[in-house]
Amino acid sequence: MTIDSELAIGSGDPMPPDVARTGPSPTGSLETDQSRTESGGTGLPRTGAREADPGRTGPPRTGKRDTDLGRTVPPRTAAREADPGRAVRMEKRRKSLRDIGLAVVFLTPALVFLLAFVYVPSVMALVLAFFHYKLGGVGTTWAGISNFTDALQLNVFRKALVNTFYYAGMMVPGTIILSVGLALLINKATRMYAFIRTLVLIPYVTPAVGTAIGWLWIFNPTYGLANGLLHWLGLPTSQWLQSPRMAMPSIAIYSLWHGVGFDVVIVMSAISSLPQGVLEAASVDGANAWRRFWRVTLPLISPTIFFLVIVTTIGTLQSFSQIYALSGASGGPEYSTTTLLFLIYETAFTYNHISYASAMAVLLVILILAFTLIQRWMGKRLVFYQ
């Protein structure tokens, strides 16, 4: 104990502030901050050091230092404190595993459905195309590619192939022109917008077989509405579905009426999302309505039109329900409405030639794939992506 401390204790005065902030020295004596500073500052306790330098910064304490201070820190916590990036990576890994688990749970029902009703039947059709097989028959024999060559040499198959191209050639341009035109007209409507849009979409949501009954009456050559309208206008009447020349156009008219509502809604969505500033700038520059549509609107909605072209082409190559409902099981007069899918159905379930029908189905898939690839190649050069 120093002389100053002994004088302070002996006189009964409170301990000076400088002495009160200091702790006992390693030798059991009290000393002031000034004395420690003069001796090089080596004897300052940790608490006193933090109070003397509150702005001191440094790396977080490690597990080893905490252990030295008597704290019990788990090794994993110590490692996390030593490497904060590792903790972030572990958290991301846990979130990734959780997302994968949720994806598996939600996708499993759809995958099971696709596996049972799409992938397995497709693989079976591909395998059966190389065999001779009939439903209820005993055993199968290897056929090689004879089913494919026989199908290509069949007159009905070539007639069905031409009818399929003829039907797609009417449906694809007709669907695009009608859907874009109706969408532009409906988009101009300021009143009853929702009602008109619903009115256009109603034929699409109604069953094709149910609406085909009404169209059979419209196309009736004796008392149908179509011939009545032509007679009222003074135009020559037609046999419609009973004529080999008009049977397929009649089905195309019905298919456009039934399916164009879906395409109109999609085009309306694309038009409503156009940037109005670009259209207004074109108007300020003096562009009329046709130039605004041809130079601004059409390029901006070209990705939507390209999507509709691909979907409509695939749908028309697979048309069946409307053809069967309007033409019956005969496929039209002189096979005028017999398409590839109609012929596949007739070959498989009417004549029980499963392998023959499977070979036709494989050829149809190859045809659809070729058309899709050609359209994608053209789309890269014609479609404008922002």
Q: Does residue 300 come out as left (phi exceeding 0), alpha (psi in the -120 to 50 range) or beta?
A: alpha
**Picking from 19-28, 134-143, 359-368, which range would have the lowest pLDDT averaged per residue?**
19-28
pLDDT tens-digit readout, 302-330: 999 999 999 999 999 988 888 888 887 77
Using the predicted structure, report yes or no on whether residue 269 has a pLDDT greater than 60.
Answer: yes
Q: Distances from the Cα of 142 to the Cαs of 120, 146, 357, in angstroms?
A: 20, 10, 16
Which has the closest alpha carbon to 143: 377, 353, 370?
A: 353
What's the CA gap between 375 and 358, in Å, rounded? Answer: 26
Question: What does the pLDDT read at residue 364?
Answer: 92
- Specify the pLDDT at position 380: 82
Q: For residue 48, what pLDDT is reported? A: 45
Provide the token pair at 199. Answer: 């009115």
User: pLDDT value at position 352?
Assistant: 87
User: Is 215's pLDDT higher than 60?
Assistant: yes
Cα 166 versus chain centre, distance: 31
Instruction: Assign 3-state DSSP to the chain and report helix, strand, coil percentages, each to 5.
Output: 70, 0, 25
Average pLDDT over residues 156-173: 93
**Phi, psi (rounded to 5 degrees) for 131:** -130, 165
Q: Which residue has the tokens 């619903």?
A: 198
Residue of 115, 138, 119 lying closest to 127 (CA atoms): 119
Position 363 scores a pLDDT of 92
44: left (phi over 0), alpha (psi -120 to 50) or beta: beta
Report how far apart the first and last C-alpha atoms of the chain are (Å, whole number): 86
Residue range 36-81, pLDDT digits in tens: 444 444 444 444 444 445 545 545 554 444 444 555 656 666 666 6
Over residues 96-120, the pLDDT tens digits come to 999 999 999 999 999 999 999 999 9
